[in-house]
Chains A and B, each alone.
Chain A
Amino acid sequence: MDEHKLADLFRDAVREAPPASFDEQDVLGASKLATARHRMRVATGSAFGVVVLAGVAVFGANALNPGPDEGSLAAAQNSSEYGATDSGTPLVPFTAGPNQPMPSGPVPPGRTTQAPPKSIPESTSKQGDDDPGRAGRPTSSTPTGCGPADRELAVALAHELPAAAGLTPTPAARSCGPGSRAMSVLVRDGGVSGVVSVILGPPDAKIGSDDIGTKDLPPGSASASAYAPSGRPLTVVSEPAKGSITSPFSGRVEDIARKLAEKL
């Protein structure tokens, strides 16, 4: 049998076709309906996409920019979850203690009614430096008036005392009269460390008075004074370190005071 006879068999099988159950209007109606459904699906999908994108944008904005209260509260909560700080200090619950009465009345916006917890540690410096503003010596019960560290005196002292060269001068923690200029530097004399101060007193001050930096010297201190050509008294004080009674360069304070007074 060839392909023509097989084709005849196929054509004979469909020769008696019943009337069609659809016409052109049915096709047009179905086409319009399908097009409308397609547009509806596209619109629905687009709206869903816009809603999802808006939700993601809002969530991302909130995640990247938390409010100040939310951030601090979240940080406190996170710290509480771990139970202790890095230094090992155990944390207490984030509540006000009995000695911390709760504030009453309206609370300003952005503030909470709870007092800050005592257990939150202060931020520690990662640089290994000392407390800011401390000049190497305790300043309690020490009269002020010596002013800021005088750089000219520091240069002159470094010239006479090489051990003080390159060190950072600090304000002198001595008793100075008005108009005085002074500086101090923490030096090391072999195994002895201490503070050497240079005070250029006011013009009307006299050696032996209390306003040239020699008042209330700690035990073991050494001091020497000399008049500068301008008539101002110049005093060099060497104080031992805390807990020691030996001051650095105690045998040279007179020589240093004399030489510095000649220059100033």
Chain B
Amino acid sequence: MDQREEQEFAEYFVARREAVRRTAYLLCGDWHRADDLAQTAFVALHRRWKKVRDKGALDAYVRRTLVRASIDESRRPWRRERTVEEFPDAPVTDAEVGESVATRETLLAGLAKVPPRQRAVLVLRFLEGLDVAATAAALKCTEGTVKSQTARGLEALRTSLGDALDDLRSAS
């Protein structure tokens, strides 16, 4: 890449790094792994920067790369996700810990039990704020698939959380 393209990438990187890290964190539930996923997505974007003609589609490309990397990561034997009866790190809800922290931990634990594909749809829709069409474009699937994955993901999240978060009972 020439100097101008390097400058464009640097500006995009600075503007989007934190957002990509947060999305990656909700996808995997760990900040270290989230940084690895985010870096993987930015490296892939840097290698294809000259081939991406539509600069308006950069976000979609990064999201797609991030989701694929997260799903691939979850399929690796040493990172394969396993369902357990009890959370390894159960949220401590005593008086010294704020209620927001407990809610966050509960949500992350519930998301960890949602299948990766459905989890990606939930994150893109409720964290990134994408509508059904944008989510379908980011994941390169149909809108019907996004709708069904959203419904199943919310159901799985409710099942895994139980009564921990009452607010999710009526969400759809």
Give A30's nearest chain B residue, CB to CB. B43
For B47, give its contact among A14, A24, A31 (CB under 8 Å): A31
Interface of B is mostly: helix
Interface residue? A11 (CB, 8 A): yes
Q: Are A9 and B46 in contact (CB under 8 A)?
A: no
Known: A1-B168, A2-B171. A27 touches B42 (CB 8 A): yes
Interface residue? B169 (CB, 8 A): yes
Q: How large is the interface on A (under 10, 10 to 19, 20 to 34, 35 or more residues)?
A: 20 to 34
Q: Are B103 and A21 in contact (CB under 8 A)?
A: no
Q: Are B103 and A9 in contact (CB under 8 A)?
A: yes
Interface residues of A in 2-54 (CB under 8 A from B): 2-3, 5-7, 9-14, 17-18, 20-22, 24, 26-28, 30-31, 34-35
Question: Cβ of A18: which chain B residues have Cβ within 8 Å of it?
Answer: 31
Q: Are A31 and B35 in contact (CB under 8 A)?
A: no
* Complex Cα–Cα for A31 and B31 (A): 22
Give B157's nearest chain A residue, CB to CB. A6
Interface residue? B80 (CB, 8 A): no
CB distance from B20 to the nearest CB of A (A): 10
CB distance from A16 to the nearest CB of B (A): 8
Fill in one digit per residue for B28-58: 1 if any A CB lies within 8 Å of its CB, else 0: 0001100100110011001100000000000
Question: Cβ of A20: which chain B residues have Cβ within 8 Å of it?
Answer: 17-18, 21, 35, 38
Q: How large is the interface on B (under 10, 10 to 19, 20 to 34, 35 or more residues)?
A: 35 or more
Known: A14-B26, A17-B25, A20-B18. A3 touches B13 (CB 8 A): no
* Complex Cα–Cα for A61 and B167 (A): 77
Question: Cβ of B123: which chain A residues have Cβ within 8 Å of it?
Answer: 10
Q: Are A7 and B129 in contact (CB under 8 A)?
A: yes
Question: Cβ of A12: which chain B residues have Cβ within 8 Å of it?
Answer: 100, 103-104
Give B31's nearest chain A residue, CB to CB. A18
Q: Are B35 and A13 in contact (CB under 8 A)?
A: no
Q: Are B107 and A31 in contact (CB under 8 A)?
A: no
For B126, give its contact among A3, A21, A24, A26 (CB under 8 Å): A3
CB distance from A191 to the nearest CB of B (A): 96
Interface residue? B141 (CB, 8 A): no
Q: Are A10 and B35 in contact (CB under 8 A)?
A: no
Q: Are B25 and A7 in contact (CB under 8 A)?
A: no
Q: Are B46 and A31 in contact (CB under 8 A)?
A: yes
Give B35's nearest chain A residue, CB to CB. A21
Known: A13-B104, A31-B46. A5 touches B167 (CB 8 A): yes
Question: Cβ of A34: which chain B residues have Cβ within 8 Å of it?
Answer: 43, 47
Give A7's nearest chain B residue, CB to CB. B126
Fill in one digit per residue for B63-85: 1 if any A CB lies within 8 Å of its CB, else 0: 00000000000000000000000
* Complex Cα–Cα for A17 and B127 (A): 14
Give A27's nearest chain B residue, CB to CB. B42
Best-surrounded residue of A6, A20, A22, A24 (most CB of chain B within 10 A): A6
* Complex Cα–Cα for A18 and B32 (A): 10
CB distance from B27 to the nearest CB of A (A): 11
Known: A24-B14, A27-B46, A34-B47. A11 touches B127 (CB 8 A): yes
CB distance from B84 to the nearest CB of A (A): 20
* Complex Cα–Cα for A12 and B26 (A): 11
Question: Cβ of B22: which chain A residues have Cβ within 8 Å of it?
Answer: 14, 17
* Complex Cα–Cα for A30 and B170 (A): 45
Q: Are B10 and A24 in contact (CB under 8 A)?
A: yes
Question: Cβ of B108: which chain A residues have Cβ within 8 Å of it?
Answer: 13
Q: Are B165 and A9 in contact (CB under 8 A)?
A: yes
* Complex Cα–Cα for A45 and B108 (A): 44
Q: Are B46 and A14 in contact (CB under 8 A)?
A: no
CB distance from B142 to the nearest CB of A (A): 21
A-B complex: 5 closest residue pairs judged by Cβ atoms: A14-B22, A10-B127, A31-B46, A1-B167, A13-B104
Cross-chain pairs A/B with CB under 8 angstroms, 21 sampled = A6-B167, A9-B107, A10-B122, A10-B126, A10-B127, A12-B103, A12-B104, A13-B104, A13-B107, A13-B108, A14-B26, A17-B21, A20-B21, A20-B35, A24-B10, A24-B13, A27-B13, A27-B42, A30-B43, A34-B43, A34-B47
